[in-house]
Structure 1
Amino acid sequence: MEGYKSFLYFLVSSLVLGFTLVIFVLVWVLHYSDGLAWDGGNAEFNWHPVLIITGFIFIEGIAIIVYRLPWTWRCSKLLMKCIHAGLHLTAAILVVVALVAVFDYHNAKNIPNMYSLHSWVGLTVVICFFLQLVFSIIVYLLPCTPLSIRAAFMPIHVYSGLLLFGGVIATSLMGITEKLIFSLRNPAYSSLPPHAVFVNTLGLLIAVFGGLIVWITTRPGWKRPPEEQRPFLSNDNYDNTTEYSKEKSDVELNSEARKRNLKLDEAGQRSTM
């Protein structure tokens, strides 16, 4: 890998920052808000930011960069596909629960659904995410899909994944601002109380985390090498290649010996003539 030390720096930074996001959102709902519950009140709504940040930002970010981890390059491509898809499916489950929580809260409080820009963009991102997830499973996990289709779809798959991740970051920032405006009345959000400072800091950390994930993903030198360029990464492949080389050497030696014998026979026949 090119720039291995730089990669480690960005990877560790993104992991530490991702765990920090989860801690920050838990402190937000447990300390500054009404905690967590499933009772139709504010505590039920709080599951929405917790699960979105944990699943749709942190776990989704890890799913995006999992192919960049050089320690996984010894693993088979199929195993890495399953890990990649499993992380996406985990994020998808958390997102569904988060949506159920917010809709249930709105209905219990007689609050209209789907009226804000945050809800419009958020639902669009979720729908596109599930469409991409289903289509990617069909293309990359089902063995019946031709390799030409997989190769043609790959640039779209990578671009749309990063685009959706950016949409999640933007939607989260809109949702945080919207929640603070509605919930901070006395003191008001405009007076910047400690609650507002803490959650604004959470928003900045979310933006930085998104930037780190995109940077790691878009560096060409940190990309997983193609299968044909990794003959010695696996012990099995190394053994197979070594045996093949030995077999090839034996064949070449036998061929050269036969040629020498043939030349000697021809020389002997000429001398007797």
Structure 2
Amino acid sequence: RIVRRLSSSSVHFRGVLSLKWISHVVLLSLSLLYSSLAQSPAPFSPLFISTLELMERMAWGQAGVQTLPWYVVGSQVLGVACIVMTGVWMGHYGGGYAWDGSRLQFNVHPLCMVMGLVFLYGDGVLVYRVFRNESKRSVKILHALIHMMALVISIVGLVAVFDYHNKNNFSNMQSLHSWCGMLTFVLFFLQWLLGLSFFLFPWASATMRTWYLPLHAFFGLVLLATSVATSLMGITEVIFSSRPPNPGAEALANILGLLLVCFVVLVGYLATKEEFRRPPNPEEEALSVHFNTLNEGSDPSSP
């Protein structure tokens, strides 16, 4: 019996070894075949390369894009919470809203600036992360429209505070908050105009667009951070100037400031994380290269 068991075990062991060797040989043969197809101009090379691109995209999606919706939802929850808290702060603790030159008109300013230069600004940045498979031109139009809405709402907020100051004989542009806010608004407006001229209605060459694109993205995030920093300055000014002090309003304002910081950090994370970038579209890139070649001749590069 012992001899029979040993003999059957040896046969099973040899069978397992043979299967392992066969699998190793098959894998080695497939790898050599794939490498030869990739390096040679055989008719099957495009098929193999397309398979590699598909596998790369699948790996890209499994790596980080699965968590993207959760981050986006988190950013929207934070942004809406900031707007609601600003509305409650100015509407409940501040007495409400009006357009009659009174203190109630000033309350329009914080609400519009948080809604425009923070929330809508951040959402305009995120459209390139949310709409990953739509056409690039459609996403550009949406990006420009959201930022145009942010500009319009911000203008309403600026007119409200300047009109309030003028009707009550208050000086304009005295504080650091007002200087930083005006600088941020002007630069944001210039950034929007440059984005339209470079990318949506491109008059610049492909080389100039390629050069300006990283600057546009960088300064967009810088201005968003500056908007939040300016909002924090304004929150501090309102708290210190409120008489008599209101602990409930002060606590709400401080929580609002923390949520604004969390919002800009999350938007910056989504905008800069490599796994969340819009995947390349070979068809759009080919059309872009063809269009640039026809219009520029010697410069076929695309942004």
TM range (shorter): 0.7 to 0.9
C-alpha distance in structure 2 between counterparts of 1:78 and 1:7, whole Å: 22
Q: What is the CA deviation profile of residues 97-148 of structure 1, one whole-angstrom value per residue up to 9, with x for unaligned ones?
A: 1100000011111111001000111111111111111111111111433222
Matched, 1:116 2:175: yes
Contact 2:87–2:111 under 8 Å retained in 1: yes
Matched, 1:36 2:97: yes
Alignment RMSD: 1.5
Q: For 1:151, which of 210, 221, 243 is the aligned residue?
A: 210
Q: Aligned AA for 1:220?
A: E
Q: Aligned AA for 1:66?
A: V
Residue in 2 aligned with 1:228?
A: 282
Q: For 1:207, which of 251, 254, 261 is the aligned residue?
A: 261
Matched, 1:170 2:229: yes
C-alpha distance in structure 1 between counterparts of 2:69 and 2:256, whole Å: 24
- Give the Å deviation of 1:74: 2.7
Q: Aligned AA for 1:226?
A: P
Residue in 1 aligned with 2:33?
A: none
SS of 1:35's equivalent?
coil
Q: What is the CA deviation profile of residues 138-193 of structure 1, one whole-angstrom value per residue up to 9, with x for unaligned ones?
A: 1111143322211110110000000000100000000011011112x22x37xxx1
Q: What is the CA deviation profile of residues 28-71 of structure 1, one whole-angstrom value per residue up to 9, with x for unaligned ones?
A: 111101211100011111111111111111111110111011xx
Contact 2:98–2:104 under 8 Å retained in 1: yes
Q: For 1:80, which of 139, 156, 175 is the aligned residue?
A: 139
C-alpha distance in structure 2 between counterparts of 1:143 and 1:115, whole Å: 39
Q: Aligned AA for 2:80?
A: F
Contact 2:90–2:96 under 8 Å retained in 1: yes
C-alpha distance in structure 2 between counterparts of 1:142 and 1:195, whole Å: 46
Q: Aligned AA for 2:263?
A: F
Q: Aligned AA for 2:262?
A: V
SS of 1:34's equivalent?
coil
Matched, 1:3 2:57: no
- Pairs within 5 Å for 1:117-136: 117-136=176-195
- Give the Å deviation of 1:229: 7.6
Matched, 1:100 2:154: no
Runs of 4+ with >3 A deviation: none
Taking CA–CA contacts closer than 8 Å with sequence separation of 6 or more, which of the two structures ends up with the larger relative contact order? 1
Residue in 2 aligned with 1:46?
A: 107
C-alpha distance in structure 2 between counterparts of 1:23 and 1:116, whole Å: 26
- Give the Å deviation of 1:230: 7.7
C-alpha distance in structure 2 between counterparts of 1:206 and 1:90, whole Å: 19
Q: Aligned AA for 2:252?
A: F
C-alpha distance in structure 2 between counterparts of 1:152 and 1:195, whole Å: 47
Q: Aligned AA for 1:101?
A: A
C-alpha distance in structure 2 between counterparts of 1:15 and 1:165, whole Å: 15
C-alpha distance in structure 1 between counterparts of 2:253 and 2:203, whole Å: 48
Residue in 1 aligned with 2:295?
A: none
Unaligned ranges ≥5, structure 1: 232-273
- Give the Å deviation of 1:4: 2.4
Query: Identity over aligned residues, as a percent?
Result: 38
Residue in 2 aligned with 1:235?
A: none
Residue in 1 aligned with 2:25?
A: none
Q: For 1:26, which of 69, 72, 87 is the aligned residue?
A: 87
Residue in 2 aligned with 1:15?
A: 76
C-alpha distance in structure 1 between counterparts of 2:114 and 2:248, whole Å: 21
Q: Aligned AA for 2:142?
A: I
- Give the Å deviation of 1:228: 2.0
Tell me the number of residue pairs that the alignment of Structure 1 and Structure 2 aligns: 224
Matched, 1:161 2:220: yes
Residue in 2 aligned with 1:68?
A: 129
